[in-house]
A and B are shown apart, each in its own frame.
Chain A
Amino acid sequence: MPAAKGVKKIALTVAAAAIAVLFLFPVGITFTNSLMTGQEISIDYGPIGQMNEEAARRAASFSNLKLVPDQVTLEQYGKVLAGSPKYLMMFWNSVFMVVPIVAGQTFVAELAAYAFSKLRFHGRDRLFLVYVLTMLMPFQVTLVPNYLMADELGLLNRAGAMIWPGIFAPFGVFMLRQFMLDIPYAYIEAAKMDGAGHVHIFGKIIIPMIKPALAALVVLLFVDYWNMVEQPLVFLDDPFKQPLSVYLSSINGDTGIAFAASMLYMTPMVLLFLYAESYFVQGIQLSGIKG
Protein backbone atom coordinates (compact mmCIF):
# COMPACT_ATOMS: atom_id res chain seq x y z
CA MET A 1 0.00 0.00 0.00
CA PRO A 2 2.26 2.83 -1.17
CA ALA A 3 -0.51 5.44 -0.71
CA ALA A 4 -0.95 4.64 2.98
CA LYS A 5 2.79 4.67 3.41
CA GLY A 6 2.98 8.12 1.84
CA VAL A 7 0.30 9.44 4.18
CA LYS A 8 2.16 8.05 7.17
CA LYS A 9 5.38 9.66 6.01
CA ILE A 10 3.66 13.03 5.62
CA ALA A 11 1.97 12.76 9.02
CA LEU A 12 5.22 11.90 10.78
CA THR A 13 7.05 14.70 8.99
CA VAL A 14 4.38 17.20 10.02
CA ALA A 15 4.63 16.07 13.64
CA ALA A 16 8.42 16.30 13.63
CA ALA A 17 8.29 19.70 11.91
CA ALA A 18 5.84 21.05 14.50
CA ILE A 19 8.33 20.16 17.22
CA ALA A 20 11.14 21.70 15.18
CA VAL A 21 9.23 25.01 15.00
CA LEU A 22 9.02 25.01 18.79
CA PHE A 23 12.79 24.56 18.99
CA LEU A 24 13.52 27.28 16.46
CA PHE A 25 11.10 29.78 17.97
CA PRO A 26 13.55 31.63 20.29
CA VAL A 27 16.18 31.88 17.56
CA GLY A 28 13.60 33.18 15.11
CA ILE A 29 12.40 35.82 17.57
CA THR A 30 15.94 36.97 18.25
CA PHE A 31 16.65 37.28 14.54
CA THR A 32 13.52 39.17 13.49
CA ASN A 33 13.55 41.43 16.52
CA SER A 34 17.17 42.35 15.91
CA LEU A 35 15.96 44.01 12.72
CA MET A 36 13.39 46.26 14.43
CA THR A 37 13.77 49.96 15.10
CA GLY A 38 14.60 51.01 18.63
CA GLN A 39 11.24 52.73 18.85
CA GLU A 40 9.30 49.61 17.95
CA ILE A 41 11.26 47.58 20.50
CA SER A 42 10.58 50.01 23.32
CA ILE A 43 6.86 50.06 22.52
CA ASP A 44 6.69 46.25 22.38
CA TYR A 45 8.83 45.37 25.36
CA GLY A 46 8.40 48.44 27.54
CA PRO A 47 6.15 46.71 30.09
CA ILE A 48 8.82 44.08 30.88
CA GLY A 49 10.71 44.21 34.14
CA GLN A 50 8.17 46.16 36.14
CA MET A 51 7.35 43.14 38.22
CA ASN A 52 7.52 44.61 41.64
CA GLU A 53 5.59 47.77 41.20
CA GLU A 54 2.04 47.47 42.34
CA ALA A 55 0.93 49.90 39.68
CA ALA A 56 2.36 47.77 36.93
CA ARG A 57 0.70 44.71 38.41
CA ARG A 58 -2.67 46.24 38.16
CA ALA A 59 -2.07 47.75 34.78
CA ALA A 60 -3.20 45.51 31.97
CA SER A 61 -0.21 46.33 29.78
CA PHE A 62 1.69 43.39 28.39
CA SER A 63 4.77 43.04 26.29
CA ASN A 64 3.94 42.31 22.71
CA LEU A 65 5.95 39.49 21.18
CA LYS A 66 6.20 40.23 17.48
CA LEU A 67 7.65 38.04 14.78
CA VAL A 68 7.53 40.49 11.89
CA PRO A 69 9.06 43.93 12.30
CA ASP A 70 7.01 46.92 11.10
CA GLN A 71 10.11 48.30 9.50
CA VAL A 72 13.31 46.39 8.79
CA THR A 73 16.48 48.22 9.79
CA LEU A 74 20.06 47.53 10.79
CA GLU A 75 19.91 50.32 13.37
CA GLN A 76 20.51 47.95 16.31
CA TYR A 77 23.52 46.33 14.66
CA GLY A 78 24.94 49.77 13.97
CA LYS A 79 24.59 50.65 17.64
CA VAL A 80 26.35 47.47 18.75
CA LEU A 81 29.26 47.68 16.33
CA ALA A 82 29.81 51.41 15.94
CA GLY A 83 28.34 52.71 19.17
CA SER A 84 30.53 50.70 21.51
CA PRO A 85 34.12 49.68 20.71
CA LYS A 86 33.71 47.38 23.71
CA TYR A 87 31.83 44.86 21.64
CA LEU A 88 34.66 44.19 19.18
CA MET A 89 37.23 44.13 21.93
CA MET A 90 35.31 41.55 23.89
CA PHE A 91 34.73 39.54 20.77
CA TRP A 92 38.51 39.23 20.45
CA ASN A 93 38.83 38.48 24.16
CA SER A 94 36.47 35.56 23.61
CA VAL A 95 38.34 34.33 20.56
CA PHE A 96 41.71 34.44 22.34
CA MET A 97 40.36 32.40 25.21
CA VAL A 98 38.25 29.89 23.34
CA VAL A 99 40.57 28.92 20.48
CA PRO A 100 43.49 27.75 22.70
CA ILE A 101 41.08 25.88 24.97
CA VAL A 102 39.39 24.01 22.13
CA ALA A 103 42.65 23.18 20.35
CA GLY A 104 44.45 22.25 23.56
CA GLN A 105 41.72 20.15 25.09
CA THR A 106 41.09 18.25 21.87
CA PHE A 107 44.79 17.36 21.61
CA VAL A 108 45.31 16.41 25.26
CA ALA A 109 42.04 14.51 25.41
CA GLU A 110 42.62 12.30 22.39
CA LEU A 111 45.86 11.03 23.89
CA ALA A 112 44.32 10.30 27.27
CA ALA A 113 41.20 8.77 25.74
CA TYR A 114 43.39 6.30 23.83
CA ALA A 115 45.03 5.21 27.08
CA PHE A 116 41.67 4.89 28.81
CA SER A 117 39.99 2.92 26.05
CA LYS A 118 42.62 0.84 24.29
CA LEU A 119 45.48 0.29 26.72
CA ARG A 120 45.51 -1.85 29.80
CA PHE A 121 47.11 -0.55 32.94
CA HIS A 122 46.67 -0.87 36.64
CA GLY A 123 43.98 1.36 38.16
CA ARG A 124 42.64 2.44 34.78
CA ASP A 125 38.95 2.27 35.56
CA ARG A 126 39.36 3.90 38.94
CA LEU A 127 41.30 6.81 37.47
CA PHE A 128 38.72 7.21 34.74
CA LEU A 129 36.00 7.31 37.36
CA VAL A 130 37.83 10.24 38.96
CA TYR A 131 37.79 12.05 35.62
CA VAL A 132 34.05 11.52 35.16
CA LEU A 133 33.38 12.55 38.71
CA THR A 134 35.35 15.75 38.29
CA MET A 135 33.62 16.49 35.02
CA LEU A 136 30.23 16.37 36.73
CA MET A 137 31.28 18.77 39.46
CA PRO A 138 29.72 22.22 39.13
CA PHE A 139 32.19 25.11 38.90
CA GLN A 140 31.26 26.28 42.40
CA VAL A 141 32.53 23.09 44.01
CA THR A 142 36.20 23.90 43.46
CA LEU A 143 35.79 27.64 43.32
CA VAL A 144 37.98 28.47 46.31
CA PRO A 145 40.90 26.10 45.67
CA ASN A 146 40.86 27.03 41.98
CA TYR A 147 41.09 30.65 42.93
CA LEU A 148 44.02 29.95 45.23
CA MET A 149 45.71 27.86 42.55
CA ALA A 150 45.31 30.61 39.95
CA ASP A 151 46.77 33.06 42.44
CA GLU A 152 49.81 30.87 43.15
CA LEU A 153 50.46 30.36 39.45
CA GLY A 154 50.16 34.10 38.79
CA LEU A 155 47.15 33.62 36.54
CA LEU A 156 44.67 35.90 38.28
CA ASN A 157 43.26 38.61 36.08
CA ARG A 158 44.74 36.94 33.01
CA ALA A 159 43.13 34.90 30.27
CA GLY A 160 45.36 32.02 31.37
CA ALA A 161 43.14 31.52 34.42
CA MET A 162 40.46 30.32 31.99
CA ILE A 163 42.70 28.78 29.33
CA TRP A 164 44.79 26.34 31.40
CA PRO A 165 41.95 24.70 33.33
CA GLY A 166 40.02 24.63 30.05
CA ILE A 167 42.72 22.67 28.25
CA PHE A 168 42.84 20.03 30.97
CA ALA A 169 39.11 19.75 31.61
CA PRO A 170 38.04 16.10 31.63
CA PHE A 171 35.05 16.38 29.29
CA GLY A 172 36.99 15.68 26.08
CA VAL A 173 38.63 12.62 27.59
CA PHE A 174 35.27 11.24 28.61
CA MET A 175 33.64 11.87 25.25
CA LEU A 176 36.44 10.51 23.08
CA ARG A 177 36.90 7.44 25.27
CA GLN A 178 33.25 6.54 24.70
CA PHE A 179 33.77 6.70 20.94
CA MET A 180 37.08 4.82 21.01
CA LEU A 181 35.52 2.00 23.02
CA ASP A 182 33.34 1.20 20.01
CA ILE A 183 36.38 0.60 17.80
CA PRO A 184 36.92 -3.17 17.80
CA TYR A 185 40.07 -4.36 19.52
CA ALA A 186 40.79 -6.54 16.50
CA TYR A 187 42.05 -3.53 14.52
CA ILE A 188 44.71 -2.89 17.13
CA GLU A 189 45.68 -6.55 17.41
CA ALA A 190 46.11 -6.72 13.65
CA ALA A 191 48.25 -3.58 13.58
CA LYS A 192 50.38 -4.94 16.42
CA MET A 193 50.91 -8.16 14.45
CA ASP A 194 52.26 -6.02 11.61
CA GLY A 195 54.69 -4.49 14.07
CA ALA A 196 53.03 -1.11 14.51
CA GLY A 197 53.73 0.77 17.76
CA HIS A 198 51.16 2.63 19.79
CA VAL A 199 52.02 6.00 18.27
CA HIS A 200 51.43 4.57 14.84
CA ILE A 201 48.19 2.84 15.82
CA PHE A 202 46.95 6.00 17.45
CA GLY A 203 47.82 8.31 14.58
CA LYS A 204 47.00 6.09 11.63
CA ILE A 205 44.06 4.02 12.85
CA ILE A 206 42.32 5.58 15.82
CA ILE A 207 42.37 9.27 14.88
CA PRO A 208 40.98 8.80 11.36
CA MET A 209 38.22 6.62 12.78
CA ILE A 210 37.07 9.09 15.39
CA LYS A 211 36.99 12.14 13.12
CA PRO A 212 33.22 12.55 13.51
CA ALA A 213 33.63 12.48 17.28
CA LEU A 214 36.44 15.04 17.08
CA ALA A 215 34.22 17.32 15.02
CA ALA A 216 31.46 16.97 17.58
CA LEU A 217 33.88 17.63 20.43
CA VAL A 218 35.20 20.79 18.81
CA VAL A 219 31.68 22.15 18.40
CA LEU A 220 30.63 21.27 21.93
CA LEU A 221 33.75 22.76 23.50
CA PHE A 222 33.46 25.87 21.43
CA VAL A 223 29.84 26.37 22.46
CA ASP A 224 30.56 25.68 26.09
CA TYR A 225 33.53 28.02 26.44
CA TRP A 226 32.10 30.71 24.17
CA ASN A 227 29.28 30.81 26.73
CA MET A 228 31.33 30.77 29.91
CA VAL A 229 30.22 33.30 32.47
CA GLU A 230 31.10 32.20 36.00
CA GLN A 231 34.86 31.74 35.51
CA PRO A 232 35.64 35.16 33.96
CA LEU A 233 33.51 36.87 36.57
CA VAL A 234 35.56 35.30 39.34
CA PHE A 235 39.02 35.32 37.76
CA LEU A 236 39.05 38.61 35.85
CA ASP A 237 38.80 41.92 37.68
CA ASP A 238 39.49 44.09 34.68
CA PRO A 239 36.25 44.72 32.77
CA PHE A 240 38.20 45.18 29.52
CA LYS A 241 39.50 41.63 29.72
CA GLN A 242 36.05 40.08 29.95
CA PRO A 243 34.78 37.88 27.13
CA LEU A 244 31.71 38.60 25.07
CA SER A 245 29.51 36.27 27.13
CA VAL A 246 29.92 38.46 30.19
CA TYR A 247 29.33 41.65 28.20
CA LEU A 248 26.20 40.20 26.66
CA SER A 249 24.78 39.18 30.03
CA SER A 250 25.38 42.69 31.31
CA ILE A 251 23.29 44.46 28.65
CA ASN A 252 20.30 45.31 30.73
CA GLY A 253 17.67 47.72 29.70
CA ASP A 254 18.47 48.09 26.03
CA THR A 255 16.54 45.18 24.58
CA GLY A 256 17.19 46.18 20.97
CA ILE A 257 20.95 46.13 21.40
CA ALA A 258 20.68 42.82 23.23
CA PHE A 259 18.88 41.22 20.26
CA ALA A 260 21.43 42.43 17.75
CA ALA A 261 24.38 41.57 20.00
CA SER A 262 22.91 38.08 20.53
CA MET A 263 22.69 37.53 16.80
CA LEU A 264 26.29 38.62 16.25
CA TYR A 265 27.36 36.52 19.21
CA MET A 266 25.73 33.31 18.07
CA THR A 267 26.70 33.62 14.40
CA PRO A 268 30.19 32.07 14.76
CA MET A 269 28.73 29.20 16.76
CA VAL A 270 25.93 28.55 14.30
CA LEU A 271 28.31 28.64 11.33
CA LEU A 272 30.76 26.30 13.00
CA PHE A 273 27.92 24.02 13.95
CA LEU A 274 26.45 23.89 10.45
CA TYR A 275 29.89 23.28 8.96
CA ALA A 276 30.78 20.56 11.45
CA GLU A 277 27.41 18.89 11.15
CA SER A 278 27.92 18.07 7.50
CA TYR A 279 31.42 16.87 8.30
CA PHE A 280 30.05 14.81 11.15
CA VAL A 281 27.48 13.04 8.97
CA GLN A 282 30.01 12.54 6.19
CA GLY A 283 32.45 11.16 8.72
CA ILE A 284 29.99 8.60 9.95
CA GLN A 285 29.25 7.45 6.40
CA LEU A 286 32.90 7.27 5.37
CA SER A 287 34.27 5.54 8.42
CA GLY A 288 31.81 2.70 8.14
CA ILE A 289 30.87 2.97 11.80
CA LYS A 290 27.27 2.90 10.59
CA GLY A 291 27.54 -0.90 10.47
Chain B
Amino acid sequence: MKKWIRGDSAAAWLFLVPSGAGFALFYLIPFVRAVFDSFTDGTADSHFAGLANYRGLLASESFRKAASNTFYFSAVSVPLILALSLVLAMLLNKNLYVRSWLRTAYVLPLVVPVASIVLIWQILFDWNGSVNAWLSGFGYERVDWMETDAARVVVLVVYLWKNIGYNVILLLAGLQQIPKEYYETAQIEGAGRFRQFRSITMVYLTSAMFFVVIMSILNSFKVFRETYLIAGDYPHDSIYMLQHYMNNMFASLDIQKLTAAAALMAGSILLIVTGLFTLERRYRRFME
Protein backbone atom coordinates (compact mmCIF):
# COMPACT_ATOMS: atom_id res chain seq x y z
CA MET B 1 0.00 0.00 0.00
CA LYS B 2 2.74 2.41 0.95
CA LYS B 3 4.55 1.57 -2.23
CA TRP B 4 1.45 2.27 -4.24
CA ILE B 5 1.06 5.72 -2.74
CA ARG B 6 4.65 6.63 -3.33
CA GLY B 7 4.60 5.25 -6.84
CA ASP B 8 3.62 7.01 -10.00
CA SER B 9 0.03 5.97 -10.17
CA ALA B 10 -1.29 8.09 -7.31
CA ALA B 11 0.48 11.17 -8.67
CA ALA B 12 -0.72 10.34 -12.17
CA TRP B 13 -4.36 10.33 -11.15
CA LEU B 14 -3.94 13.65 -9.33
CA PHE B 15 -2.47 15.23 -12.43
CA LEU B 16 -5.24 13.71 -14.53
CA VAL B 17 -8.23 14.70 -12.41
CA PRO B 18 -8.95 18.20 -13.81
CA SER B 19 -8.65 17.15 -17.42
CA GLY B 20 -10.29 13.77 -16.91
CA ALA B 21 -13.36 15.09 -15.10
CA GLY B 22 -14.09 17.78 -17.69
CA PHE B 23 -13.25 15.47 -20.54
CA ALA B 24 -15.69 12.86 -19.25
CA LEU B 25 -18.45 15.40 -18.72
CA PHE B 26 -18.20 17.22 -22.03
CA TYR B 27 -16.87 14.57 -24.38
CA LEU B 28 -16.95 11.02 -23.12
CA ILE B 29 -20.43 10.89 -21.58
CA PRO B 30 -22.04 12.75 -24.51
CA PHE B 31 -20.34 10.38 -26.90
CA VAL B 32 -21.39 7.25 -25.04
CA ARG B 33 -24.93 8.63 -25.03
CA ALA B 34 -24.77 9.18 -28.78
CA VAL B 35 -23.71 5.59 -29.32
CA PHE B 36 -26.48 4.42 -27.00
CA ASP B 37 -29.05 6.52 -28.91
CA SER B 38 -27.97 4.96 -32.16
CA PHE B 39 -29.42 1.63 -30.96
CA THR B 40 -32.82 3.01 -30.01
CA ASP B 41 -35.84 3.83 -32.12
CA GLY B 42 -36.14 7.49 -31.13
CA THR B 43 -39.66 7.34 -29.72
CA ALA B 44 -40.44 9.06 -26.41
CA ASP B 45 -39.81 5.94 -24.31
CA SER B 46 -36.97 4.92 -26.65
CA HIS B 47 -37.15 1.23 -27.38
CA PHE B 48 -34.14 -0.83 -28.23
CA ALA B 49 -33.99 -1.08 -31.99
CA GLY B 50 -30.91 -3.21 -32.54
CA LEU B 51 -29.14 -2.47 -35.75
CA ALA B 52 -32.17 -1.01 -37.50
CA ASN B 53 -30.72 2.51 -37.60
CA TYR B 54 -27.50 1.22 -39.07
CA ARG B 55 -29.36 -0.75 -41.69
CA GLY B 56 -31.35 2.32 -42.64
CA LEU B 57 -28.20 4.38 -42.74
CA LEU B 58 -26.32 2.02 -45.02
CA ALA B 59 -29.32 1.87 -47.33
CA SER B 60 -29.32 5.64 -47.66
CA GLU B 61 -27.63 6.83 -50.78
CA SER B 62 -26.70 10.24 -49.42
CA PHE B 63 -24.93 8.63 -46.47
CA ARG B 64 -22.93 6.34 -48.76
CA LYS B 65 -22.01 9.31 -50.92
CA ALA B 66 -20.96 11.37 -47.89
CA ALA B 67 -18.95 8.53 -46.37
CA SER B 68 -17.07 7.73 -49.56
CA ASN B 69 -16.38 11.43 -50.24
CA THR B 70 -14.99 11.90 -46.75
CA PHE B 71 -12.89 8.77 -47.03
CA TYR B 72 -11.48 9.66 -50.44
CA PHE B 73 -10.78 13.23 -49.48
CA SER B 74 -8.68 12.14 -46.49
CA ALA B 75 -7.07 9.29 -48.39
CA VAL B 76 -5.87 11.68 -51.11
CA SER B 77 -5.20 14.83 -49.15
CA VAL B 78 -3.28 13.42 -46.19
CA PRO B 79 -0.52 11.62 -48.16
CA LEU B 80 -0.32 14.58 -50.54
CA ILE B 81 0.12 17.14 -47.78
CA LEU B 82 2.69 14.92 -46.05
CA ALA B 83 4.80 14.66 -49.19
CA LEU B 84 4.56 18.37 -49.99
CA SER B 85 5.29 19.51 -46.46
CA LEU B 86 8.29 17.20 -46.23
CA VAL B 87 9.68 18.64 -49.48
CA LEU B 88 9.15 22.21 -48.24
CA ALA B 89 10.63 21.46 -44.82
CA MET B 90 13.74 19.98 -46.44
CA LEU B 91 13.98 23.02 -48.68
CA LEU B 92 13.75 25.36 -45.69
CA ASN B 93 16.33 23.26 -43.86
CA LYS B 94 18.85 24.20 -46.54
CA ASN B 95 20.97 27.30 -46.45
CA LEU B 96 18.70 30.05 -47.83
CA TYR B 97 18.45 33.80 -47.71
CA VAL B 98 15.61 35.33 -45.61
CA ARG B 99 14.81 31.89 -44.25
CA SER B 100 12.80 32.99 -41.23
CA TRP B 101 10.72 35.33 -43.40
CA LEU B 102 9.93 32.46 -45.74
CA ARG B 103 8.94 30.27 -42.84
CA THR B 104 6.61 32.96 -41.53
CA ALA B 105 5.02 33.32 -44.97
CA TYR B 106 4.25 29.59 -45.14
CA VAL B 107 2.55 29.55 -41.77
CA LEU B 108 0.57 32.73 -42.18
CA PRO B 109 -2.44 31.06 -43.92
CA LEU B 110 -3.10 29.28 -40.64
CA VAL B 111 -4.16 32.52 -38.97
CA VAL B 112 -6.27 33.81 -41.86
CA PRO B 113 -9.95 33.75 -40.82
CA VAL B 114 -12.26 31.27 -42.46
CA ALA B 115 -14.60 34.02 -43.60
CA SER B 116 -11.95 35.83 -45.60
CA ILE B 117 -10.86 32.59 -47.24
CA VAL B 118 -14.45 32.19 -48.30
CA LEU B 119 -14.43 35.70 -49.74
CA ILE B 120 -11.27 35.12 -51.78
CA TRP B 121 -12.59 31.72 -52.81
CA GLN B 122 -15.69 33.36 -54.25
CA ILE B 123 -13.70 35.97 -56.13
CA LEU B 124 -11.45 33.31 -57.61
CA PHE B 125 -13.78 30.39 -58.30
CA ASP B 126 -17.13 31.98 -59.04
CA TRP B 127 -18.56 31.37 -62.53
CA ASN B 128 -17.68 35.00 -63.22
CA GLY B 129 -14.59 34.81 -61.01
CA SER B 130 -10.99 35.65 -61.72
CA VAL B 131 -9.72 32.14 -62.45
CA ASN B 132 -12.30 31.85 -65.21
CA ALA B 133 -11.35 35.32 -66.43
CA TRP B 134 -7.73 34.15 -66.76
CA LEU B 135 -8.76 30.89 -68.43
CA SER B 136 -10.84 32.67 -71.02
CA GLY B 137 -8.03 35.20 -71.46
CA PHE B 138 -5.89 32.28 -72.60
CA GLY B 139 -8.67 31.03 -74.84
CA TYR B 140 -9.89 28.15 -72.65
CA GLU B 141 -13.50 27.36 -71.77
CA ARG B 142 -14.46 28.58 -68.34
CA VAL B 143 -15.18 26.01 -65.65
CA ASP B 144 -18.14 25.93 -63.28
CA TRP B 145 -15.82 25.25 -60.35
CA MET B 146 -18.29 24.74 -57.56
CA GLU B 147 -20.92 22.83 -59.57
CA THR B 148 -18.72 20.14 -61.13
CA ASP B 149 -16.19 17.59 -59.90
CA ALA B 150 -13.66 20.42 -59.99
CA ALA B 151 -15.07 21.44 -56.60
CA ARG B 152 -13.03 18.61 -55.10
CA VAL B 153 -9.83 20.16 -56.43
CA VAL B 154 -10.78 23.57 -55.07
CA VAL B 155 -11.38 22.14 -51.59
CA LEU B 156 -8.09 20.26 -51.79
CA VAL B 157 -6.23 23.45 -52.73
CA VAL B 158 -7.73 25.31 -49.77
CA TYR B 159 -6.78 22.45 -47.44
CA LEU B 160 -3.20 22.35 -48.68
CA TRP B 161 -2.81 26.11 -48.65
CA LYS B 162 -4.06 26.44 -45.11
CA ASN B 163 -2.28 23.51 -43.46
CA ILE B 164 1.08 22.97 -45.18
CA GLY B 165 2.85 25.69 -43.23
CA TYR B 166 2.00 24.17 -39.88
CA ASN B 167 3.32 20.77 -40.95
CA VAL B 168 6.45 22.40 -42.32
CA ILE B 169 7.22 24.01 -38.94
CA LEU B 170 6.82 20.70 -37.12
CA LEU B 171 8.90 18.75 -39.61
CA LEU B 172 11.53 21.48 -39.73
CA ALA B 173 11.92 21.29 -35.95
CA GLY B 174 12.33 17.53 -36.34
CA LEU B 175 14.90 17.88 -39.12
CA GLN B 176 16.96 20.34 -37.10
CA GLN B 177 17.28 17.85 -34.29
CA ILE B 178 19.10 15.34 -36.48
CA PRO B 179 22.85 15.77 -35.90
CA LYS B 180 24.71 16.72 -39.10
CA GLU B 181 27.43 14.16 -38.29
CA TYR B 182 25.05 11.30 -39.06
CA TYR B 183 24.87 12.43 -42.66
CA GLU B 184 28.62 12.98 -42.85
CA THR B 185 29.33 9.50 -41.52
CA ALA B 186 26.83 8.00 -43.93
CA GLN B 187 28.45 9.84 -46.81
CA ILE B 188 31.88 8.55 -45.89
CA GLU B 189 30.49 5.05 -45.75
CA GLY B 190 29.19 5.51 -49.27
CA ALA B 191 25.45 5.84 -48.64
CA GLY B 192 23.61 7.58 -51.47
CA ARG B 193 21.14 10.42 -51.04
CA PHE B 194 18.12 8.16 -51.09
CA ARG B 195 19.68 5.77 -48.60
CA GLN B 196 20.49 8.68 -46.28
CA PHE B 197 16.94 9.97 -46.60
CA ARG B 198 15.46 6.58 -45.78
CA SER B 199 17.80 5.47 -43.02
CA ILE B 200 18.49 8.77 -41.27
CA THR B 201 15.90 11.41 -42.11
CA MET B 202 12.83 9.19 -42.06
CA VAL B 203 13.87 7.28 -38.95
CA TYR B 204 14.58 10.37 -36.85
CA LEU B 205 11.47 12.10 -38.14
CA THR B 206 9.11 9.33 -37.02
CA SER B 207 7.87 11.05 -33.91
CA ALA B 208 7.30 14.37 -35.70
CA MET B 209 5.62 12.44 -38.53
CA PHE B 210 3.18 10.73 -36.20
CA PHE B 211 2.11 14.10 -34.94
CA VAL B 212 1.87 15.55 -38.45
CA VAL B 213 -0.21 12.62 -39.73
CA ILE B 214 -2.73 12.92 -36.88
CA MET B 215 -2.94 16.68 -37.33
CA SER B 216 -3.40 16.31 -41.08
CA ILE B 217 -6.29 13.89 -40.60
CA LEU B 218 -7.85 16.26 -38.06
CA ASN B 219 -7.44 19.19 -40.42
CA SER B 220 -8.85 17.25 -43.36
CA PHE B 221 -12.10 17.07 -41.38
CA LYS B 222 -11.89 20.74 -40.49
CA VAL B 223 -11.89 21.92 -44.10
CA PHE B 224 -15.61 21.26 -43.85
CA ARG B 225 -16.04 24.65 -42.23
CA GLU B 226 -14.87 26.49 -45.34
CA THR B 227 -16.84 24.20 -47.63
CA TYR B 228 -19.96 24.76 -45.58
CA LEU B 229 -19.62 28.52 -45.55
CA ILE B 230 -19.16 28.73 -49.29
CA ALA B 231 -21.46 26.03 -50.59
CA GLY B 232 -24.07 25.66 -47.84
CA ASP B 233 -26.01 22.58 -46.74
CA TYR B 234 -26.16 20.93 -50.13
CA PRO B 235 -22.95 21.51 -52.09
CA HIS B 236 -22.08 19.72 -55.31
CA ASP B 237 -22.15 15.91 -54.94
CA SER B 238 -18.37 15.58 -55.09
CA ILE B 239 -17.81 17.59 -51.89
CA TYR B 240 -20.82 16.41 -49.89
CA MET B 241 -19.10 15.25 -46.70
CA LEU B 242 -20.19 13.26 -43.65
CA GLN B 243 -20.43 16.51 -41.69
CA HIS B 244 -22.93 17.85 -44.24
CA TYR B 245 -24.92 14.69 -43.84
CA MET B 246 -24.91 14.90 -40.04
CA ASN B 247 -25.80 18.60 -40.09
CA ASN B 248 -28.74 17.88 -42.33
CA MET B 249 -29.90 14.99 -40.17
CA PHE B 250 -29.74 17.35 -37.17
CA ALA B 251 -31.78 19.94 -39.05
CA SER B 252 -34.44 17.38 -39.95
CA LEU B 253 -34.31 15.96 -36.39
CA ASP B 254 -33.40 12.48 -37.61
CA ILE B 255 -31.34 11.86 -34.48
CA GLN B 256 -31.22 8.09 -35.06
CA LYS B 257 -29.46 8.40 -38.40
CA LEU B 258 -27.22 11.13 -37.04
CA THR B 259 -26.01 9.12 -34.07
CA ALA B 260 -25.57 5.94 -36.11
CA ALA B 261 -23.48 7.87 -38.65
CA ALA B 262 -21.46 9.36 -35.80
CA ALA B 263 -20.82 5.92 -34.30
CA LEU B 264 -19.70 4.53 -37.65
CA MET B 265 -17.38 7.45 -38.23
CA ALA B 266 -15.95 7.06 -34.74
CA GLY B 267 -15.38 3.36 -35.42
CA SER B 268 -13.45 4.09 -38.60
CA ILE B 269 -11.33 6.75 -36.90
CA LEU B 270 -10.64 4.27 -34.08
CA LEU B 271 -9.27 1.74 -36.55
CA ILE B 272 -6.98 4.28 -38.20
CA VAL B 273 -5.71 5.78 -34.95
CA THR B 274 -5.06 2.40 -33.33
CA GLY B 275 -2.98 1.47 -36.33
CA LEU B 276 -0.95 4.69 -36.17
CA PHE B 277 -0.58 4.41 -32.42
CA THR B 278 0.78 0.88 -32.62
CA LEU B 279 3.22 1.92 -35.31
CA GLU B 280 4.41 4.86 -33.23
CA ARG B 281 4.97 2.76 -30.13
CA ARG B 282 6.88 0.19 -32.09
CA TYR B 283 9.14 2.93 -33.50
CA ARG B 284 9.69 4.51 -30.12
CA ARG B 285 10.76 1.20 -28.67
CA PHE B 286 13.00 0.67 -31.69
CA MET B 287 14.59 4.10 -31.15
CA GLU B 288 15.21 3.52 -27.46
- List A residues at the B interface (Cβ < 8 Å): 9-10, 12-13, 15-17, 19-24, 26-27, 29-30, 45, 47-51, 56-57, 59-65, 107-109, 111-112, 114-116, 119-122, 124-125, 129-146, 148-149, 164-165, 167-170, 173-175, 178, 181-182, 197-198, 202, 219-220, 223, 226-227, 229-230, 245, 248-249, 251, 255, 258-259, 261-262, 265-266, 269-270, 273-274, 277, 281, 284, 289-291
Contact = CB atoms under 8 A, between A and B. Distances in A.
B252 interface: no
Q: Main SS of chain B's interface residues? A: helix
Contact of A227 (B16, B113, B133, B217): B113
B34 A136 contact: no
A265 B117 CA distance: 12
Contacts, number: 299
A150 to B, nearest CB: 9
A62 B113 contact: no
Contact of B114 (A116, A125, A245): A245
B225 interface: yes
A273 B111 contact: yes
Interface in B13-61: 13, 15-16, 18-20, 22-23, 25-31, 33-34, 37
Contact of A265 (B29, B113, B177): B113
A291 B179 contact: yes
B129 A277 contact: no
A140 B193 CA distance: 46
A138 B161 contact: no
Contact of A146 (B12, B19, B26): B26
A13 B97 contact: yes
A229 B225 CA distance: 8
A157 to B, nearest CB: 17
A284 B175 CA distance: 13
Contacts of B144: 51
Contact of A114 (B15, B98, B119): B15
Interface of B: 7-9, 11-13, 15-16, 18-20, 22-23, 25-31, 33-34, 37, 88, 91-92, 94-98, 100-102, 104-120, 122-124, 126-130, 132-133, 136, 144, 146-147, 161, 164-166, 173, 176-179, 207, 210-211, 214, 217-218, 221-222, 224-225, 229, 242-243, 246-247, 250, 255, 258-259, 262, 265-266, 269-270, 273-274, 277, 281, 284
B262 A48 contact: no
A62 B129 CA distance: 6
Contacts of A17: 98, 102
A274 B20 CA distance: 33
Contact of A24 (B7, B108, B120, B225): B108
A227 B196 CA distance: 41
B31 to A, nearest CB: 5
A141 B207 contact: no
Contact of B266 (A125, A137, A167, A258): A137
Contact of B15 (A47, A115, A133, A274): A115
Given A108-B19, A134-B28, A142-B262, 16 more contacts: A20-B101, A27-B109, A65-B123, A120-B7, A125-B277, A141-B34, A173-B19, A181-B284, A198-B15, A220-B166, A248-B116, A255-B119, A261-B115, A262-B115, A269-B111, A270-B108
B30 A146 contact: yes
B105 A140 contact: no
Contacts of B106: 19-20, 23
Contacts of A129: 273-274, 277
Nearest to A44: B123
Contact of A291 (B23, B34, B116, B177): B177
Given A145-B33, A148-B30, A65 B124 contact: yes
A64 B113 contact: no
Nearest to B13: A121
Contacts of A167: 22
A63 B126 contact: yes
Contacts of A23: 105-106, 108-109, 161, 164-165
